[in-house]
């Protein structure tokens, strides 16, 4: 009789454990996009900008997980900057890949959930203009810093040598952190609408690239 009772408790424990595990997805996926707020050079040259993000990861439990994400961020300069700094035909973007840790708040407010996120990654910032020749003595413009040009520190505002301005990419390491709120969607299996704020900082050699994307998207 005692053995049967012990067996019953063991089976009940396994069922309860399986039920608890069903409260979260083992593998997660997300995609979203929105408008990002620029800081530093991004604020000066680009302003606020659209972006998109997609990711996937794994939950270790209901509280902790990891997520790998790819972000594409538009870096088209503002019309006033293009006009005043002679950058007609300019285009640009930043791509990033990051590995993030996710901490889910264990309690919900009604159906709303919350989480925090922190990660490290690589950021590839690219800008381009139609190829043009810059002669010695050309006046240096602030936004041209992203093209990694050579200029004479002894003569502020002029270039040291004749050179070509076309496209330039800089890859750097960086970090991100942020937080988000989720809401389950009953009509999409195991899906959640999420709204998230993040802070990204990349350490390019010419200066830091700082963006703060606000994302609206879906998680599974």
Domains of the chain: 25-219 (2.40.160.20)
Q: Which residue has the higher pLDDT, 13 or 48?
A: 48
At a CB cut-off of 8 Å and minimum separation 6, what does 6 contact? Answer: none
Nearest to 207 by CA among 123, 109, 85, 81: 123
Q: How far apart are CA 37 and CA 115, in angstroms?
A: 21
Both tokens of 166, joined, read: 């076309």
pLDDT at position 101 is 97
Provide mean pLDDT across the span 22-44.
Answer: 89
Pure H helices in 77-203 = 79-84
- Please state, in angstroms and rounded to a whole number, the distance separating the CA atoms of residues 204 and 37: 19
Cα dihedral 156→160→166→171 (10° resolution): -80
* pLDDT exceeds 80 at position 106: yes
pLDDT of residue 72: 98
Separation of alpha carbons 184 and 186, rounded Å: 6
Instruction: Give the global pTM.
Output: 0.84
């Amino acid at each position: 009789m005692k053995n049967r009772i012990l067996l019953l408790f063991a089976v009940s424990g396994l069922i309860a454990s399986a039920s608890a595990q069903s409260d979260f997805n083992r593998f997660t996926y997300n995609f979203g996009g929105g408008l990002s707020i620029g800081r530093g050079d991004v604020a000066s040259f680009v302003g606020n900008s659209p972006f998109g993000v997609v990711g996937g990861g794994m939950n270790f439990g209901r509280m902790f997980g990891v997520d790998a994400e790819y972000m594409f961020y538009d870096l088209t300069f503002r019309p006033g900057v293009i006009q005043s700094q002679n950058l007609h035909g300019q285009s640009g973007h930043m791509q990033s890949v990051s590995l993030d840790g996710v901490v889910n708040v264990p309690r919900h407010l009604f159906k709303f959930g919350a989480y925090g996120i922190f990660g490290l990654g690589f950021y590839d910032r690219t800008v381009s203009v139609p190829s043009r020749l810059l002669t010695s003595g050309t006046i240096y413009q602030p936004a041209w810093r992203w093209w990694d040009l050579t200029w004479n520190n002894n003569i502020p505002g002029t270039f040291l040598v004749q050179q070509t301005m076309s496209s330039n990419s800089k890859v750097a390491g960086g970090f991100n952190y942020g937080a988000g709120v989720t809401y389950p969607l009953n009509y999409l299996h195991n899906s959640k609408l999420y709204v998230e704020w993040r802070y990204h900082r990349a350490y390019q050699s010419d200066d830091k690239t700082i963006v703060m994307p606000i994302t609206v998207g879906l998680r599974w």
